[in-house]
């Protein structure tokens, strides 16, 4: 299969379940909502080394938020629900309660709440910080606490939905030069940023270093190491390289989403966007032969 | 003391020792250096609930970096040196090694290395990720590893200085309205961002919620709670309020720096900038009566 | 009428006809589309002193553009159609044709084309720049030229709709402090930025200096001068001040839109957003007693 | 000559005299200074079709400005001094006086004032807008007017230095792919942005479409047309192509500066930065055989 003369490899991305929470952070202005959302989702690329996988999902205009102010939806994800709760408490308490003019609301929509995919809500009891001076209020039809702080009152919901989502949706972009590969990755990120219900947890949405499970040389203490078959500077040095002769750089886009359909949509628009960039040679995807993850996203099916 | 008709309270900020590391993250372009620096320093406002205090210190132009590319210096801080090392390993490994086009270098300058304030270097051995395909190189006179990854080779130093710095430099900005207080806080942040050797770990550099040690009502399980004396919406409800009658909002600026002189400079330029904003009433600072922290920054001395 | 305790004055905004063009600028990535759109719409606040009124209308995701790349819609407006054409030629030729990876398409939708409000199309014949090397192509169902330039081929349509729109929709935000007024103005801008079909031509969308027609002192050579009745620093110096005693700063939001309904919507969401900010006292609007402009936007009707 | 394996062509850039003004725009915060500077310098790529060549020169921290607030220096340039004055009046009057919280100061430093290169100052009499309510003040040792407007008082100097500078410093970046060429151009821009005393007037600092004087086919009405010898898509179609076989895209960086030394420095750091990017093949420069411009910048001399 080819799109704009770019080869779409006949393979699939393999993905895994993950527990997902979604929080709306509003603020007086778009800027301060973004600042808080960025701080609250930092250090959140992969649960291999970060305490959560986190990112900004989408912008919500002031006309559609409970308090009439602009906001960003963030997603905080972890394979274990208890860790999601712990991360919500810490990231909302340390990075949003402290941020200028912010308020927080649960953003797993009501209809999902009754869905079977929603396993449970978790409590994020920030009101204790109010030391008894907090009060119950209703904002936009939601039960919230108003906690007196230095700038005025901080408004927060305390129940947050956590549901089973999909982690590790992915595709690879291979190109003639690093510049073309990165421009295509950026184009993919720009496209996926418009898809609601998913995040790209890696820096700027782009992964520069692919991993393989285990290690050839340091297997005693390394559970993962560089995927040498995908390293362009090793093309002539290893026998099992997967880099085509005319490819000199590759990037991976990794997607965590609230469900399979969202991840599929994100992959689709991302791959199409990447294929608009000159110099892109091939799109592929990462899997473990179907042994590990229950979700499969076949590239050629997505792009039909 | 008054500056531009703003009262400077005759008090001092009390600060504490913290272990500080500084890392230069370079990239092909300023944008990608910033993206990696932002991800690597997120979820890093306060060690009360975050795994580190972290932030972006300053920009370094391409003419002054080891590899001739633009970069940002980040600081990662924690009271314990072992935690600094662990955080460097995780934040650099997960948030920079994975980021497009980045390289990392130690950025505690050589002369500091021999200084008594430098207690020790820590190893950040990312080269094991190279699985034996990594190689030693010299870049800009520095011994680095080149690790083959998908986009090419990732360049990194592996020894990072950690020295005793100063955490918790601070001042409060009190104003007639929330808007004036926030504009003044932003002006202070803009000024302090030009001071090398320090970070403002909170979101956008601004703290909206002040704490007191302990809790009046929930003391059994809360080690800290809202500083009700600094809450404008409680002015008429608590007897020990510290908010003047004409103050309706306050923000705190918190500074972590490499030494006392840097924190003093940051406080000075920040306070002066805040005092240019109409509607600011008073500048104060937070301390514990001198019982806890060894560093004192007297406001009126700084501003002489 | 009051919203969130902010007085909505019982008055109206008076607006005027203007000739409007809309152009979609796409690029390889969102960043480069934004860069070109910003350059092409600069120096475009008011036709009193600028060659056009211009601004960025809205973002269009890659899934909805003719070439599958992200883009921004800009509007270029002038009371005279000939000037719109001239400005399109110069701004697109100098600021977009020269910009990295861009393409341009007409963005007055087809259904409007047949509408009576569309007076005429104008030609923007950039293909002559191709010096005979240009070729006709079809992109996304549109007839375009491909002009060979240094980076590859520049793609452009050459017919652009120009229709009668509405200029000078406006409202004033008055607040206790400059900080509150500016925060509210920013909140209004953030809200209006989500309304398709309009621009805020002034810097950042906000007007700091209001004018009156003519001049008291320099009437021989000044056609407009500061609206002294709206200047807070003149409150105690002029008898006809319109600034309430508790107001110390005001900003105006000025809107150009493709039709009355769009301007009305923009004013409505903008005012509502401004009223979420603490310290805002009053919302008003500017008019000339209905003598000049055919469009009237009554504030209390908009906000019912 | 080669840098990082990139060929530096043995040629030179030819540049021309231009009249240059520099204005410092300060604001309450860095953001609003940047907003005003961007609006005031838009639609300013080339005097061929724009009313001026304009851009942002550098940031000035609050500790170094006359009013203790952060600011950006802009440059507004035109071959004729009268046009510089006219453009200052219109761009400052329409795009800065109207912008939130701004003030403006002349920024051709005093020592230059007495220099022979300074031909004359021009008056920018914005105070008439004050309608007699304006007053003279001194800010940071400078004589300014305070003009009462809606947000408070607008502060401005009224005398601006205009000196003979250098326009059209330039170099070309040629690369294997568009992505590599653009990444290198961006790297060059990031580097040159750190050089004080110059601007990059084109969108984002990068030129995608090169011109030749005159036209082969449309010479009756086109004074300039695409430089077909530099168009990669015409490589196999024209006999006089200048694009090497392995080059598929080129960008030009164009620099206007206050003097030769500044343009030379900008070209030097820009070329060095471009040469750090993989896939860059060659650096060249544009000239007219020395017939037109008095300034020559030889690439190999700059890079010794």
**D181 contacts on A by Cβ (under 8 Å):** 179
Residue D288, pLDDT score: 86
C252/D150 touch (CB, cutoff 8 Å), yes or no: yes
Residue D119, pLDDT score: 53
* B97 in contact with chain D, both atoms CB, cutoff 8 A: no
B3 Cβ contact partners less than 8 Å away, ≥ 6 residues apart: B271, B272, B275, B283, B303
Residue A111 has pLDDT above 90, yes or no: no
Residue B236, pLDDT score: 94
Residue C115 has pLDDT above 70, yes or no: no
Residue D216, pLDDT score: 96
Q: Which helix (H) or strand (E) holds B184?
A: helix B178-192
pLDDT digits (tens, 9 = 90+) for D132-170: 999 999 999 999 999 999 999 999 999 999 999 999 999
pLDDT digits (tens, 9 = 90+) for C180-236: 999 999 999 999 999 999 999 999 999 999 999 999 999 999 999 999 999 999 999
Do residues B260 and B166 make contact, with C-beta atoms less than 8 angstroms apart? yes
Residue B115, pLDDT score: 58
Measured distance CA(C155)–CA(A277) in Å, rounded: 14
Residue B288 has pLDDT above 90, yes or no: no
Q: Where do we find the tokens 């979604």? A: A22
Which of C39, C24, C109 shows the shortest CA–CA distance to C75? C24
Interface probe with B: pick from A126, A208, A253, A286, most Cβ of B within 10 Å: A208
Tokens of D234: 């015409």
Mean pLDDT check: name the lowest of A66-75, A116-125, B118-127, B227-236.
A116-125
* D176 in contact with chain A, both atoms CB, cutoff 8 A: yes
Share of chain B above pLDDT 70, in %: 96
Extended strands (E) in chain C = 2-3, 6-8, 12-26, 53-60, 71-78, 103-106, 118-123, 135-139, 142-149, 152-156, 159-175, 198-199, 211-213, 224-226, 249-257, 280-284, 295-298
Which of A206, A167, A168, A208 shows the shortest CA–CA distance to A187? A206
Cα dist. B268→B201, B255, B283, D32 in Å? Answer: 18, 12, 11, 23
Identify any residues that bridge with B148 across adjacent strands, giving them in sequence order: B153
Residue A114 has pLDDT above 90, yes or no: no
Tokens of A114: 């009754």
CA C258 to chain centre: 10
Q: What are phi and psi of A226, to 5 degrees?
A: -60, 140
Exposed, middle or buried: residue C236 (CB in 10 Å: 0-12, 13-18, 19+)? exposed
Measured distance CA(D30)–CA(A16) in Å, rounded: 44
Measured distance CA(D74)–CA(D195) in Å, rounded: 13
End-to-end CA distance of chain A: 9
B279/C182 touch (CB, cutoff 8 Å), yes or no: no
Share of chain A above pLDDT 70, in %: 96
Do residues D263 and D198 make contact, with C-beta atoms less than 8 angstroms apart? yes
Task: For residue D157, give the 3-state DSSP assignment.
Answer: coil
Structural domains of chain B, with CATH: 2-14+165-302 (3.30.70.520), 19-163 (3.30.70.520)
Task: For residue A6, give the 3-state DSSP assignment.
Answer: strand
pLDDT digits (tens, 9 = 90+) for A60-102: 999 999 999 999 999 999 999 999 999 999 999 999 999 999 9
For chains A and B, what is the number of CB pairs under 8 angstroms?
Answer: 286
Q: How many CB atoms lie within 10 A of CB B23?
A: 29
Identify any residues that bridge with A147 across adjacent strands, giving them in sequence order: A154
A109 Cβ contact partners less than 8 Å away, ≥ 6 residues apart: none
Q: Where do we find the tokens 């304006």? A: D134
pLDDT digits (tens, 9 = 90+) for C258-268: 999 999 999 99
Do residues C184 and B179 make contact, with C-beta atoms less than 8 angstroms apart? yes
Do residues B279 and B248 make contact, with C-beta atoms less than 8 angstroms apart? no
Measured distance CA(C186)–CA(D270) in Å, rounded: 36
Separate counts of helices (H) and strands (E) for chain D = 6, 17
Which of B177, A28, D93, D28 shows the shortest CA–CA distance to C174? B177
Q: Where do we find the tokens 């544009």? A: D286
**B30 contacts on D by Cβ (under 8 Å):** 190
A190/C29 touch (CB, cutoff 8 Å), yes or no: yes
D131/C226 touch (CB, cutoff 8 Å), yes or no: yes
Confidence of residue D283 (pLDDT cuts 50, 70, 90): very high
* A94 in contact with chain B, both atoms CB, cutoff 8 A: yes
Q: What angle do CA B48, B49, B55 make, to 5 degrees?
A: 90
Tokens of A286: 């990462």
Residue C15 has pLDDT above 90, yes or no: yes
Tokens of D12: 């030179």
Q: How many CB atoms lie within 10 A of CB A83?
A: 16
Do residues A180 and D178 make contact, with C-beta atoms less than 8 angstroms apart? yes
Q: Which helix (H) or strand (E) holds B158?
A: none
Nearest by CB: A131 against B41, B203, B226:
B226
Buried b (16+ CB within 10 A) or exposed e, B169-192: bbbbbbbbbbbbbbbbbbbbbbbb
Residue D111 has pLDDT above 70, yes or no: no
Tokens of D113: 């004032």
Measured distance CA(A265)–CA(C91) in Å, rounded: 36
Which of B3, B80, B91 shows the shortest CA–CA distance to B47? B80
Q: Which residue of C has its CA nearest to D249?
A: C151
Buried b (16+ CB within 10 A) or exposed e, C174-185: bbbbbbbbbbbb
CA D63 to chain centre: 25
* C46 in contact with chain A, both atoms CB, cutoff 8 A: no
State the pairing for strand pair B152-156/B103-106: parallel
Nearest by CB: D68 against B69, B194, B273:
B273
Angle between helices D260-274 and D178-192 (to 10 degrees): 140
Cα dist. D16→D21, D254, D256, D259 in Å? Answer: 16, 12, 9, 11
Do residues A33 and A71 make contact, with C-beta atoms less than 8 angstroms apart? yes
Identify any residues that bridge with C144 across adjacent strands, giving them in sequence order: C137
Min Cα–Cα distance to chain D from C172, Å? 10
Residue C21 has pLDDT above 70, yes or no: yes
Rounded to the nearest integer, the mean pLDDT of chain B is 95
According to DSSP, residue D206 is labeled -
D180/A178 touch (CB, cutoff 8 Å), yes or no: yes
**C183 contacts on B by Cβ (under 8 Å):** 178-179, 182-183
Tokens of A264: 């599929």
Residue B302 has pLDDT above 70, yes or no: yes
Measured distance CA(B91)–CA(A42) in Å, rounded: 10
Residue A119 has pLDDT above 90, yes or no: no
Do residues B70 and B60 make contact, with C-beta atoms less than 8 angstroms apart? yes
Question: What mean pLDDT is predicted for residues C126-150?
Answer: 98
Cα dist. B183→A150, B174, B276, C182, D95 in Å? Answer: 15, 11, 10, 9, 22
End-to-end CA distance of chain C: 9
Confidence of residue B208 (pLDDT cuts 50, 70, 90): very high
Extended strands (E) in chain A = 2-3, 6-8, 12-26, 53-60, 71-78, 103-106, 118-123, 135-139, 142-149, 152-156, 159-175, 198-199, 211-213, 224-226, 249-257, 280-284, 295-298
Task: Examine the predicted complex and report whether its ipTM is higher than 0.90.
Answer: yes
Do residues D94 and C46 make contact, with C-beta atoms less than 8 angstroms apart? yes
Which of D212, D237, D234 shows the shortest CA–CA distance to D223? D212
Do residues D95 and D39 make contact, with C-beta atoms less than 8 angstroms apart? yes
């Amino acid at each position: 299969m080819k799109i704009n003369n770019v080869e779409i490899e006949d393979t699939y991305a393999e993905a895994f379940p993950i527990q997902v929470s979604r929080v709306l952070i509003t603020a007086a202005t778009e800027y301060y909502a973004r600042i808080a959302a960025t701080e609250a989702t930092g250090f959140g690329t992969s649960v291999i080394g970060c305490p959560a996988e986190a990112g900004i999902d989408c912008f919500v205009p002031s006309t559609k938020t409970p308090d009439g102010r602009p906001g960003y939806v963030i997603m905080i994800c972890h394979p274990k629900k208890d860790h999601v709760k712990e991360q919500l408490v810490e990231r909302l308490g340390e990075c949003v309660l402290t941020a200028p003019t912010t308020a927080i609301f649960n953003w797993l929509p009501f209809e999902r709440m009754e869905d079977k995919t929603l396993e449970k809500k978790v409590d994020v009891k920030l009101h204790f910080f109010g030391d008894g001076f907090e009060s119950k209020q209703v904002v936009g039809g939601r039960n919230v606490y108003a906690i007196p702080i230095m700038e005025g009152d901080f408004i927060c919901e305390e129940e947050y939905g956590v549901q089973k989502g999909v982690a590790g949706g992915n595709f690879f972009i291979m190109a003639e030069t690093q510049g073309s590969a990165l421009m295509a990755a950026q184009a993919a990120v720009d496209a996926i940023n418009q898809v609601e219900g998913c995040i790209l947890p890696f820096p700027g949405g782009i992964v520069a270093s692919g991993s393989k499970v285990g290690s050839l040389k340091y297997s005693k203490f390394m559970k993962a190491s560089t995927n040498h078959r995908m390293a362009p500077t090793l093309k002539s040095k290893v026998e099992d390289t997967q880099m085509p002769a005319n490819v000199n750089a590759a990037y991976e886009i990794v997607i965590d989403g609230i469900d399979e359909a969202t991840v599929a949509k994100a992959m689709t628009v991302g791959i199409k966007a990447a294929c608009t960039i000159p110099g892109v040679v091939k799109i592929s995807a990462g899997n473990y032969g179907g042994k590990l993850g229950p979700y499969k996203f076949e590239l050629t099916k997505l792009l039909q």
